[in-house]
A and B are shown apart, each in its own frame.
Chain A
């Protein structure tokens, strides 16, 4: 019997191994942009965020943005490593950004309720600061946590 032709014996493409640094760099730049916008436009930028929250547009916007950013990041890593995307990672990236932004929204509503029940002066401005902080935290965690989950799942799969 003859040996199999080398061209037919192709090795299967390995699955993408994600590192936290892949997402950390992007979130670092995103945070710096957020910081610069806060410093350069201390009134207009927070007002735009608060207005968008009041109109109910902030939550879907954040969901779409973080979902697209996570997907692009993951595909870029896959392309760089010439590896194929995994099902587990796809499930994490498809669900976690939406879940994290949803959970952040619940936390924000509780924070706003807490501020409104307190007897602080400048209630409206105080609520605005809470919205600003939660928007940033939701943005960062919706990009970072899915990659953290994928990284931990990779470690867990290697161990067991």
Chain B
């Protein structure tokens, strides 16, 4: 069965979710309260322009940095970092496309932007989790 030490990396990656989801939500609540409003913003309303895509790129950059410093073979490092960067950039593109559509007056669908950025965000997050677990395994192997 599992060595529960491995879970620390899932927790470490989950920590990214705090500034991504919790912090903007808390700030929006405090902003509304300060102005005496009663409206409550959901994460869907907060990130309906595809902002999760931008935050996914930040998460991807952190994992790429870790991966570059690892002891994997150069081929593995190259494949992993290029793939993660590609996914991160495609996630960011959701925000760019939404921004361009909104400002050029082309048809803009907030529900579609939210769905796209959420799915690509999940992809980047889960990929980051797997890579951190692999890095953790390799580090423990090197320490033996």
Contacts and interface: CB of A to CB of B under 8 A. Distances in A.
Interface of A: 19-22, 24-25, 27-29, 31-32, 34-35, 38-42, 104, 107-108, 110-112, 114-115, 120-122, 125-126, 129-130, 132-134, 136-137, 140-141, 144, 148
Contacts of B1: 40-41
Given A38-B6, A132-B137, 13 more contacts: A21-B116, A22-B119, A27-B126, A28-B125, A31-B127, A31-B130, A35-B10, A35-B126, A35-B129, A39-B7, A42-B137, A108-B75, A115-B73
Interface stretch (B17-25, B31-39, B82-90): B82-90
A39 B72 contact: no
B110 interface: no
Contacts of A134: 76, 79
Nearest to A148: B90
A137 B74 contact: no
Contacts, number: 116
Interface string B94-120: 000000000000000000100110111
A120 B123 CA distance: 33
Given A107-B79, A111-B75, A148-B86, A31 B3 contact: no
Interface in B123-144: 123, 125-127, 129-130, 133-134, 137-138, 141, 144
Q: Which of A20, A24, A41, A110 has the most CB of B within 10 A?
A: A24
Given A40-B1, A107-B75, A24 B120 contact: yes
Nearest to A109: B75
Interface residues of B, number: 37
A2 to B, nearest CB: 38
B138 A24 contact: no
Contacts of B79: 104, 107, 134, 137, 141
A19 B118 CA distance: 13
B83 A140 contact: yes
Given A21-B116, A39-B6, A42-B2, A133 B127 contact: no
